[in-house]
Amino acid sequence: MKEKFYITTAIAYTSSKPHIGNTYEAILTDSIARFKRAEGYDVYFQTGTDEHGQKIEEKAALAGKSPQVFVDEVAAQIKGIWDLVGVSYDNFIRTTDPQHERQVQKIFKKLYEQGDIYKGAYEGWYCTPCESFWTESQLVDGKCPDCGREVKKAKEEAYFFRMSKYADKLLEYYEKHPDFISPVSRKNEMINNFLKPGLQDLCVSRSSFKWGIPVDFDDKHVVYVWLDALTNYITGIGYDADGNHGEKFLKYWPAVHIVGKDIIRFHTIYWPIFLMALGLPLPKKVYGHPWLLQDGGKMSKSKGNVIYADDLVKFFGRDAVRYFVLSAMPFDNDGLISWKLVAEKINADLANVFGNLVSRTVAMTNKYFGGTVENKGVSGDTDEDLKNCSCGMFSKVSAKMDEYRIADALDEIFVLFRRANKYIDETTPWILAKDPDKKDRLETVLYNLNECILTGVSALYPFMPETCEKAAAMLGEKPRAFDKLGKFGVADKYTVSANPEILFARLDTDKILEQVDKMNEERSEVKQSEVGGDCSAKPEITIDDFSKIQLKIAKVLACEKVEKSKKLLKLTVQAGEETRTVVSGIALAYSPEELIGKKLVMITNLKPVKLCGIMSEGMIICAEEKSGKLSFLTPERDVEDGSEIF
Ligand code: MSP
């Protein structure tokens, strides 16, 4: 019977269209899944979307949509991109799937009834974007240790999970399973930074927003998004909290989890502990991959440096994009991506090495032998070296894959392609062709080249499936089974295609960059017209025009939510002698408590206007990021309220 192999990606947030970094993870996991299938494993591959939480609720409100409509749209977009890049998942789970939601409720109740979850009150520092509470000592320079953003003091009645109860057991598990976390450096980080200092009980419910799975026996609370999200790995294959598990769960669990470096803690501490509490086997492995970065920095919408997979595919094709992201990413350091790097890598590896080898070999097989060559057994000086390289390649690839060193595995395949190109230079078939006595030697050379190509594309198939099928078809074959890749001389003969297509044409990098700039410009024009034009589209004004606007520093004395409005806050501000009421649309960016005591910039001579029944006597100045996120402006030094701005 085939050995089982269950593999998962992290499930992507449905907060926005995924960038090439998120997509990288899906491609990486897909390559491993395809490789394992080709090795003969019975593979089950699950991916999907993480759809609950405050951040998504806020994003939906900003887009003027209900959370469900919003996540339906983004989940469809994510699935579309995974399909576009050829992710061969067996199941695409959504955390809004009713079956998942029901199981999460049952799991929560089970853990509560058995005493692992208890009700308490939480007071701590809360990071809204990360949806995480932190203790004072966990903060870094007073900010969120994960994302570096502002945190706010918050107190909530909440349910807690007794993490500390399982800490020793988890450490023991790490010791007994040295391969559980990879790379090993991540394991040390978990032990030294989290387990050794002592695990805090984890707050596993929220009552400050609604978009989550309700705790069914206390529906003021929704289940903490990470408890909801992590359980996808078992609910998606038929886990049932009452013990009536589906067939797939019984067959495939436990899994190998492929996740990004930022969420290793959730997968190697919280998740195993939840599983221990449920009495289930722990994951076989958690591989925390590095990140794909743009220009040495994190890819983010607000930085405007986001590269999307669908754009890359439009320019370069699916397999070239797969090849780039897989080969650009070292095992434990971050990788870099830019349009220029992609174009250059395609030229260097795919056009010059792989494509060139295939096209030269097919062309010469056609030219000198009418398209068919067989092994005439006339060997020359470098044949042994070539054959050794070909026969030894797959075992090296497979060893790298066992360690999840995908880029290194690809390198081993390209070593063979390079060696074969060198073999053409060494054997100079065009000179052999001039001597009728060397005909059999020439045919042997071309047979050897065809054989090397087929061996190479068979190993490359999981990474670039369409291209490898195409390349094999050009030699009149299909990609070969892995167990044949250690041999040389497997085919009797090769009959190549009479009209081979070019696998990878050389790209003009400058031209590509020009086209990308044009695409980005067109996009930003569309964006500007959607929001009614940017500042440069406004008419020029004089200093007199500007001086008509009175701006002052205002200190927030009190602040509260405006009833029946998601976006509005009512602020009472002090500007020197005067106190005013201002209604401002910043409720999605700030909580009332966060604003109290802050000094803001206010327009004080705007005509008062009634908003939601409240007279607003000023306007707070904010900066708006491309994503729509707002941030108020504040003086660089602490200045008296009422100070004039000019
Ligand atoms: N929803 C959580 C995961 C829950 S799993 C139970 C999440 N979602 S995410 O959309 O932010 O990220 C999805 C995956 O993409 C994560 O593994 C994350 O580390 C990875 N990446 C996010 N940015 C990335 C890069 N720039 N490069 C590579 N991977 C990146 O986290």
Any domain includes 485: yes
Give the CATH number, domain containing residue 318.
3.40.50.620
Pick 239 or 124 by higher pLDDT. Answer: 239
Which domain range does residue 545 map to?
520-645
In this structure, are residues 93 and 103 in contact, taking their beta carbons and an 8 Å threshold?
no
Nearest to 350 by CA among 389, 321, 320, 322: 320
Ligand 1 pocket residue status of 24, Cβ below 6 Å = yes
How confident is the model over 56-84, as pLDDT tens digits? 998 888 888 899 999 999 999 999 999 99
Both 380 and 488 in one domain: the answer is yes
Instruction: Please choose from 226, 263, 333 the residue to mutate so as to test ligand 1's pocket, defined by most ligand atoms within 8 A of CB.
Output: 263
pLDDT above 50: residue 423:
yes
How confident is the model over 331-385, as pLDDT tens digits? 888 999 999 999 999 999 999 999 999 999 999 999 999 999 999 999 999 999 9
pLDDT at residue 530 in the model: 42
Ligand 1 pocket residue status of 50, Cβ below 6 Å = yes
How confident is the model over 153-201, as pLDDT tens digits? 888 789 999 999 999 999 999 999 999 999 998 999 899 998 888 898 9
How confident is the model over 111-120, as pLDDT tens digits? 999 999 999 9
What's the CA-to-centroid distance between 52 and ligand 1, angstroms? 15
Q: What is the DSSP string of 309-346?
A: HHHHHHHH-HHHHHHHHHHH--SSS-EEE-HHHHHHHI
83-92, 281-290, 503-512, 597-606: range with lowest mean pLDDT: 597-606
What's the CA-to-centroid distance between 229 and ligand 1, angstroms? 12
pLDDT at residue 130 in the model: 73
Nearest to 421 by CA among 469, 337, 330, 351: 351
pLDDT above 60: residue 646:
yes
pTM of the model: 0.81
Both 579 and 634 in one domain: the answer is yes
pLDDT at residue 309 in the model: 97
Cα separation, 528 vs 534, whole angstroms: 6
Cα separation, 190 vs 269, whole angstroms: 8
Output the residue whose Cα is nearest ligand 1's atom 26.
Answer: 21
Any domain includes 184: no
CA distances for 190 relative to 113, 266, 268, 357, angstroms: 29, 10, 8, 46
pLDDT at residue 535 in the model: 32
What's the CA-to-centroid distance between 286 and ligand 1, angstroms? 14
Any domain includes 91: yes
pLDDT at residue 137 in the model: 83
pLDDT above 70: residue 418:
yes
pLDDT at residue 526 in the model: 58
Cα separation, 16 vs 75, whole angstroms: 9
pLDDT at residue 299 in the model: 62
What's the CA-to-centroid distance between 135 and ligand 1, angstroms? 24
How confident is the model over 279-293, as pLDDT tens digits? 999 999 999 999 999
Both 316 and 342 in one domain: the answer is no
pLDDT at residue 71 in the model: 97
Cα separation, 445 vs 459, whole angstroms: 21
pLDDT at residue 624 in the model: 82
Both 491 and 343 in one domain: the answer is yes
pLDDT band per the 50, 70, 90 thresholds, residue 295:
low
Nearest to 498 by CA among 356, 360, 367: 367
Share of the chain above pLDDT 90, in %: 73
Any domain includes 544: yes
pLDDT above 60: residue 583:
yes
Q: Cα–Cα–Cα angle for 227, 231, 232, nearest 5°?
A: 125
Nearest to 446 by CA among 484, 493, 490, 488: 493
Cα separation, 585 vs 569, whole angstroms: 6
Nearest to 204 by CA among 99, 101, 106, 120: 120
Average pLDDT over residues 420-433: 98
Ligand 1 pocket residue status of 12, Cβ below 6 Å = yes
Give the CATH number, domain containing residue 616.
2.40.50.140
Any domain includes 377: yes
Instruction: Please choose from 47, 262, 301 the residue to mutate so as to test ligand 1's pocket, defined by most ligand atoms within 8 A of CB.
Output: 262
pLDDT at residue 607 in the model: 76
pLDDT band per the 50, 70, 90 thresholds, residue 298:
low
What's the CA-to-centroid distance between 22 and ligand 1, angstroms? 6
pLDDT band per the 50, 70, 90 thresholds, residue 410:
very high
Instruction: Please choose from 19, 25, 147, 312 the residue to mutate so as to test ligand 1's pocket, defined by most ligand atoms within 8 A of CB.
Output: 25
Both 36 and 55 in one domain: the answer is yes
Pick 469 or 530 by higher pLDDT. Answer: 469
Contact partners, residue 348, CB within 8 Å, separation at least 6: none
Both 309 and 445 in one domain: the answer is no
Q: What is the DSSP string of 545-579?
A: HHHTS-EEEEEEEEEEEPTT-SS-EEEEEEETTEE
pLDDT at residue 305 in the model: 62
Cα separation, 571 vs 555, whole angstroms: 10
Exposed e or buried b for every residue in 431-462, given b needs 16+ CB within 10 A?
Answer: ebeeeeebeebbbbbbbbbbbbbbbbbbbbbb
Output the residue whose Cα is nearest ligand 1's atom 12.
Answer: 12
Average pLDDT over residues 126-136: 79
| Count of domains forming the chain | 3
pLDDT at residue 132 in the model: 76
pLDDT at residue 529 in the model: 42
pLDDT at residue 365 in the model: 98
Give the CATH number, domain containing residue 443.
1.10.730.10
Cα separation, 582 vs 619, whole angstroms: 7
Both 427 and 305 in one domain: the answer is no
Both 594 and 633 in one domain: the answer is yes
Both 443 and 349 in one domain: the answer is yes
Output the residue whose Cα is nearest ligand 1's atom 21.
Answer: 22
Average pLDDT over residues 8-27: 96
Nearest to 390 by CA among 489, 268, 293, 462: 489
Residue 245: its H or E element: none
Q: What integer best gives the mean pLDDT of the chain?
A: 92
Pick 536 or 62 by higher pLDDT. Answer: 62
Both 488 and 604 in one domain: the answer is no
Both 330 and 346 in one domain: the answer is no
Strand segments, DSSP code E, in 135-234 are 152-161, 181-182, 202-203, 205-206, 222-223
Both 592 and 609 in one domain: the answer is yes
pLDDT at residue 614 in the model: 80
147-156, 346-355, 532-541, 561-570: range with lowest mean pLDDT: 532-541
